[in-house]
Amino acid sequence: LSDPSAPVCHAWVCRDETESDLIEAIVGRVDPGTPVTWSAEGTPDPARFILPRRRKIVPPNDREEAPTTPHGRNEPPTIEMLVMQSALAQPLASQPVDTRLLRRHERFTDLFRQLEHDLYAPSALNGFPDIASLLETAERIRAGRQGRDDGLAFQLRHLLTEDGLIEGTCFCFRPTMGTVRSPDFVFPALGAGDSDKSVTILLVEPVIRDRWKVAVEETGVPSVHMLTLQRGVSLAQFNEMTSAGITLVVPARLHDTYPSEIRSDLMTLESFIADVRYLA
């Protein structure tokens, strides 16, 4: 550089899922299109993961009322309750379904992070009495974040019924099919409509990376649609997925993040729903 004092930016492009998992083990979960600023190691500040402005934790006196559990029990809200709360916060009734899905899922992510902060920040700041307590808390956080991945599927389930598709007739949600992994959605519902007609399988993977291979193998079906919020894939990966019988369903706003050569092969959520609406 001509100016040694100029800021320098380094980029690390992960080569595979293993590298991605290693990075997330250091900086925490990174959602598609959601930047995370990480301070230098050794910083004593416990809040070294700084969410961008649109994602900042809402101060206690400023935040909307948190979801509550039935009968006033002192239990954290479920993923489904957070999904319903995000729908109430972002109804967007006049907006296309692609827009509603993205906006509501962003709100769901905000609510989840706020809840996680409320539950575990006090313990993190005050310290743990012993290693067992630390590990127990870490396991609860890990399990909670795994459950968070279900948020997108539950969000879509709510949107489908909101758009007039009847669960149990037009589609079924995570039916038991005798495979390692049940599909997230089957259109029409199993046992509904003409048994001679083929069904459409939809898997939901917020971030696909290399996990699509495992998902297809565990589902045991030769051709599936996959809804994702991942911003872009390489041409090589897309061709590999297409050869495996996968059709990507990506909200319209994210299409520009994919190579121009493959954008016409992507489905929007709106076009997917139009295709499956009358299958039953």
Instruction: Place 72 in a pLDDT band, splitting at 50, 70 and 90.
Output: very low
pLDDT value at position 94? Answer: 85
Question: How many angstroms separate the CA atoms of 181 and 201, rounded?
Answer: 12
What mean pLDDT comes out for the span 11-30?
68
**Element (DSSP H or E) covering residue 50:** strand 49-50
pLDDT value at position 40? Answer: 53
Q: Which residue has the higher pLDDT, 71 or 235?
A: 235
pLDDT value at position 77? Answer: 85
pTM: 0.74
H helix intervals, the chain: 17-27, 79-89, 97-126, 131-148, 151-162, 211-219, 235-243, 269-276
Is pLDDT of 173 > 80?
A: yes
Please classify residue 189 by burial: count the beta carbons closer than 10 Å to its beta carbon, then call 0-12 exposed, 13-18 middle and 19+ buried: buried
Instruction: Place 180 in a pLDDT band, splitting at 50, 70 and 90.
Output: confident
Query: Which is nearest to 207 in space by CA: 182, 232, 186, 239?
Result: 232
Q: Which residue has the higher pLDDT, 108 or 34?
A: 108
Q: CA angle, 165 as apex, 161 and 167 as ends, to 5°?
A: 75
Q: Rounded to an integer, what is the distance from CA 263 to the centroid of its chain?
A: 21
Q: Rounded to an integer, what is the distance from CA 214 to the centroid of its chain?
A: 17
CB contact set of 175 (below 8 Å; sequence gap of 6+)? 182, 183, 186, 189, 190
The neighbouring-strand residues paired with 186 are 172, 201
Residue 146's φ and ψ, nearest 5 degrees, are -65, -40
Find which of 36-40, 215-219, 242-246 is predicted with most confidence, using mean pLDDT. Answer: 242-246
Is pLDDT of 35 > 70?
A: no
Please give the biggest Cα pair distance in the chain. Answer: 71
Q: CA angle, 276 as apex, 273 and 278 as ends, to 5°?
A: 115
Mapped onto helix, strand or coil, the DSSP state of residue 255 is helix
